[in-house]
Structure 1
């Protein structure tokens, strides 16, 4: 006890020590609450663009980023699929060996049953959230996501389980199903080095996945057709733009926001915007 503390009457000292303990405890509780809030899987809403190469997905990405409080990043090689497969592998391993003394410290599988699926869900959400936000202010956004063109890598037999996992990792997740006539998409530089039959099969696989999402989550998908948003029918185009904005933000698109979305259509997105020839492209960017 310090000399100063020894001069304080015992009753007063006990009250001060009790108050100090309460302050410390409150601080710890507050810190825990902040940590939980930062990792709450429902803190943000999530939207992912499901499509194939040269479908106009980079343009759709631009439209999404023109919406208020929405941040949608570009392609990332669908790293979520690797995380899902890690979870699927450990669950299968646990089913095979979980009863082999996994609660016994002498077992080769000690602790196997302690691996929780929820930890994988949280990790998937944390990785997407932090990588999408990057060095931006998290308070500036309500909706996060990315667009991707390699959804064909999801095998048919794992499709349902993969998207069920997505539902748990990203509660209420929504999908923008970006489409374009496959014949037009196949004629672009993205596919020209690929075998024609293989390219058609990959696009067909994405179409299968889009159909799966339409069937299983009809209230959480929206179709956006490249031909409509870039076509000459302005009424159809504007209906599609308004529908996209309301689907993602949950609020009607007023005339000012519609005008903002319309200006996005005047910007070149992707490797060869406005149907430029490959030789005219200056800065190839994956579309």
Structure 2
């Protein structure tokens, strides 16, 4: 049995990249651009379930610390086996679980980099920010963060936030921006800043600079062929209201406002 364990094939090691932003910032466009990169698979939103796994780990560790004195190694203990639940086991299990979810039906050999974009980072409480990202670093070693921003007025007026209190919306956006600032300060070599207005700029040099930065940040380089592919992706609408359609919708609203 021991020989079989020693001979077991180690799981493939991936690079990981996460898009950290808020709703209607152009995050789905960024997701599409990342998926244009070779051997890169970046999934969409997942209701930030990683945060629940992080909190579960801290909950059980607090419980474990309280009851280790009750001899959990003994089979007659009410807490038998509690000592086996360690942070390391949570990290390994989380990596296996999330990696499997991100791959889905895609063959592992076809991908080198995995990740997802999410717009619910504001749910991370200020007091748990540092510990959460330490957990993320241990679970996904060397993970990179793409920070996307957009003009607040455009964001707040979008369909994603409609029906919500504007003050609460701004609070959520500012909370994400606090997290982005935290990542810039603590992990500067693993952070890329993007801005929707620059990505979608009609000035090609401005847009190209953003596109090249994505490829160089994730893959290390960007030749002309890859830049052309990124340009084509940029032209494609992404999200429930692709940016081309959003512009038309905004124009219609502006015209209606002027007429009234």
TM-score (norm 2): 0.91
C-alpha separation between the residues in 2 aligned to 1:233 and 1:160? Answer: 38
How far did 1:277 drift? 2.6
Q: In the alignment, which residue of structure 1 is the partner of 2:50?
A: 80
- Inter-CA distance 25–203: structure 2 relative to 1 (3 Å threshold): closer
Q: In the alignment, which residue of structure 2 is the partner of 1:125?
A: 95
Q: Secondary structure at the match of 1:176?
A: strand
How far did 1:25 drift? 8.4
C-alpha separation between the residues in 1 aligned to 2:182 and 2:26? Answer: 21
Q: 1:277 aligns with which of 249, 252, 255?
A: 249
From the CA coordinates, give the structure whose radius of gyration is larger.
1
User: Is 2:202 aligned against 1:232?
Assistant: yes
C-alpha separation between the residues in 1 aligned to 2:40 and 2:15? Answer: 9
C-alpha separation between the residues in 2 aligned to 1:72 and 1:180? Answer: 21
C-alpha separation between the residues in 2 aligned to 1:102 and 1:128? Answer: 29
Q: Secondary structure at the match of 1:269?
A: coil
C-alpha separation between the residues in 2 aligned to 1:224 and 1:128? Answer: 25
Unaligned runs of 5+ in 2: 253-260
How far did 1:102 drift? 2.5
How far did 1:104 drift? 3.2
- Inter-CA distance 110–174: structure 2 relative to 1 (3 Å threshold): same
- Inter-CA distance 25–201: structure 2 relative to 1 (3 Å threshold): closer
Q: In the alignment, which residue of structure 1 is the partner of 2:234?
A: 265
1:159-178 to 2 correspondences below 5 Å:
159-178=129-148
Kept after mapping to 1: 8 A contact 2:71/2:80: yes
**How many residue pairs were aligned?**
248
1:19-168 to 2 correspondences below 5 Å:
28=4, 31-32=7-8, 34=9, 37-38=10-11, 43-168=13-138
Q: Give a deviation string over 1:70-121, Cα, whole Å, max 9, x none.
A: 0000001011011101101011111222223323333222222221211111
- Inter-CA distance 110–30: structure 2 relative to 1 (3 Å threshold): closer
Q: Secondary structure at the match of 1:178?
A: strand
C-alpha separation between the residues in 2 aligned to 1:226 and 1:69? Answer: 24
Q: Secondary structure at the match of 2:167?
A: helix
Kept after mapping to 1: 8 A contact 2:212/2:222: yes
User: Is 2:211 aligned against 1:241?
Assistant: yes
Over 4 Å off, 4+ runs:
none
Kept after mapping to 1: 8 A contact 2:61/2:86: no
Q: Secondary structure at the match of 1:209?
A: helix
How far did 1:29 drift? 5.5
C-alpha separation between the residues in 1 aligned to 2:166 and 2:23? Answer: 14
C-alpha separation between the residues in 1 aligned to 2:113 and 2:84? Answer: 33
